[in-house]
Structure 1
Amino acid sequence: MDKLKRVLNGNEEDEDKGIVTQISDASTLSWSTRIKLFAVCFILGATLSILGSCLLFLRNGFTIFGILYTLGNLLSLASTCFLMGPMSQLKKMFAKTRIIATLLVLLLLVLTLVCAFAIKNGALTIVCCVLQFLALTWYSLSYIPYARDVVKKCFASCME
Structure 2
Amino acid sequence: MDKLRKALSGRDNSDEQEEERGNIMTQTEDTPLLRVMDNSTLSWNTRVKGFAICFGVGFLFSFLGSVFLFLPNGITIFAVFYTIGNILGLGSTCFLMGPVSQCKRMFATTRIIATIIMFAALAMTLVSAFVLHNKALALIMVVIQFLAMTWYSLSYIPYARDAAKKCFGSCLDL
8 Å Cα contact 1:38-1:83 kept in structure 2: yes
Between Structure 1 and Structure 2, the one with more helix by share is 1
Query: Which runs of 5 or more structure 2 residues have no equivalent in the other structure?
Result: 1-25
What is the alpha-carbon distance in structure 2 between the residues aligned to residue 39 and residue 88 of structure 1?
Answer: 19
State the identity %. Answer: 58
CA displacement at 1:123 relative to structure 2: 1.6
Q: Which residue of 2 aligns with 1:18?
A: 28
8 Å Cα contact 1:62-1:123 kept in structure 2: no
Query: Which runs of 5 or more structure 1 residues have no equivalent in the other structure?
Result: 1-15
- 2:103 counterpart of 1:90: yes
Q: How does 1:33-72 map to 2 (within 5 A)?
A: 33-72=46-85
- 2:139 counterpart of 1:126: yes
What is the alpha-carbon distance in structure 1 between the residues aligned to residue 35 and residue 155 of structure 2?
Answer: 31
RMSD over aligned Cα atoms: 1.7
Q: TM-score, normalised by structure 2?
A: 0.78
Residue 47 to residue 96, structure 1, CA distance change in 2 (3 Å): same
CA displacement at 1:70 relative to structure 2: 0.2
Q: For the pair shown, which has the larger CA radius of gyration, 1 or 2?
A: 1
Aligned residues: 144
After TM superposition, where is structure 1 displaced by more than 4 Å over at least 4 residues in a row?
none
Q: TM-score, normalised by structure 1?
A: 0.84
One-letter amino acid matched to 2:128? C
